[in-house]
Amino acid sequence: MSVLMESSSPLPSRVTRAIALNAALWTAGNVLTTGGFLSYFATDLGARGFNLALLLAVPELVGLTGLASRGLVQWVGDRRKVWLITTLIARAITFLLPCVGLTRQWFSPEAAPWMLVAILVITQAAQGVATTLYFSWLADLVPRQEWGRLFARRNLAALTVQLVLPLLAAWFRDEAKRRLDAEWLWWAYAAVFTTGALLLLASVWPMWTVPHPSGSNARPVFEAGALRVLLQNPSRVPRQLSRRSLFWHYPHYHPGGATPYSAARFGDWRLVEFFETGKLELYNLRHDIGEKTDLSAKEPERTAKLHGRLKAWRESVGAQLPTPNPDHNPEKDKPSPKKKN
């Protein structure tokens, strides 16, 4: 039986609640702004079929800006910061939607629907990046095997709002058209849009309380798929890559016999930490590429320094560690004595 247990470290309940609250607030705000309620608003502004089709298609088409999220994170160097900036841009521009109705007399009837489309394009361009980074953030919070549970809880909170609020919004619009004169109807629309925009802004706060693996903020130099090209063409290895540290983390048992360990390469030096025993091994790869001579005893200061960097890296990325197995029986691990013939 294994000495250590592989742990999935489930999220604390407060984090799960924060993610669910964020989903509920965002869904509510979306329904009242760029969601179905926008179609009612556009129709009363005189939008025709083509304009309405554009309003429905824009979120999907412009959402492709999410492809730029990686480049933005590399440029800024902080995924959480890029998410916050793009989220706030999208939320702020949403406040312009009711202004089109309140100032409709300044434009021709044909221009107003196109102004809605323009505002929606800018909003969804920023939102596309924010959404991509948002789901990337959530995916880094838990192991892959826990993704289903996390996203199911998040989507359940969003679905609860989505089943109720559109019906209430439709009822409110019908009652407003029946009871209010034309001028007050636009103010009613403005009140709904403002409420939705405030809900969108409020959705930022729960996510800001959710932990963010800071290791995701690092500026990656290459993709794993490009490693083969670099190995085959050493001259193409970027200068900054040759100076970077490389880390390995495998907190599991392998059928081939490997036990849980972490390792890191710092220039010519490679440090290995075995979690079962806590043993540290240090190798100089320039003179010992086969890692046959452990130098940890001869280089205690270097070993301690590199071990500290390895532990700091694990903490920065939220790496999960195995825990002692309470059911482990050392006696059962001892080899059985050979029988004499």
What mean pLDDT is predicted for residues 170-196?
87
Residue 24 confidence (pLDDT) above 70:
yes
pTM: 0.59
Contact 264, 306 (CB under 8 A): yes
Query: What is the CB-side half-sphere exposure of residue 243 using CA atoms within 13 A?
Result: 3
Residue 234, pLDDT score = 60
Report for 53-57, 187-191, 328-332: range of highest mean pLDDT: 187-191
What mean pLDDT is predicted for residues 208-234?
58
Q: How far is CA 106 from the centre of its chain?
A: 42
What backbone phi and psi angles, to 5 degrees, belong to 212?
-125, 115
What mean pLDDT is predicted for residues 206-232?
60
Least confident range from 98-102, 124-128, 129-133: namely 98-102
Report for 6-10, 68-72, 298-302, 321-325: range of highest mean pLDDT: 298-302
Residue with tokens 């100032």: 103
Task: List all residues 6 or more positions away from 264 whose beta carbon is below 8 Å from its beta carbon.
Answer: 245, 246, 247, 248, 270, 271, 306, 309, 310, 313
pLDDT over 70 percentage in the chain: 83
Residue 221, pLDDT score = 42
Distance, CA of 145 to CA of 194 (rounded, Å): 39
Residue 67, pLDDT score = 87
Residue 85, pLDDT score = 93
Residue 240 confidence (pLDDT) above 60:
no
pLDDT in tens, 138-181: 887 776 777 788 888 889 999 999 889 888 988 888 888 888 88
| Vertex 91 angle, CA 49 and 174, to 5° | 45
Longest dimension (CA), the chain: 105
Domains delineated in the chain? 4-214 (1.20.1250.20), 224-328 (3.30.1120.10)
Residue 226, pLDDT score = 52
Distance, CA of 99 to CA of 33 (rounded, Å): 12
Residue 270, pLDDT score = 94
Distance, CA of 278 to CA of 280 (rounded, Å): 7
Residue 223 confidence (pLDDT) above 50:
no
pLDDT in tens, 254-269: 877 788 999 999 888 9
Least confident range from 52-56, 69-73, 115-119: namely 52-56
Q: pLDDT band at residue 332, thresholds of 50, 70 and 90?
A: low
Task: List all residues 6 or more positions away from 124 whose beta carbon is below 8 Å from its beta carbon.
Answer: 34, 58, 59, 62, 63, 65, 90
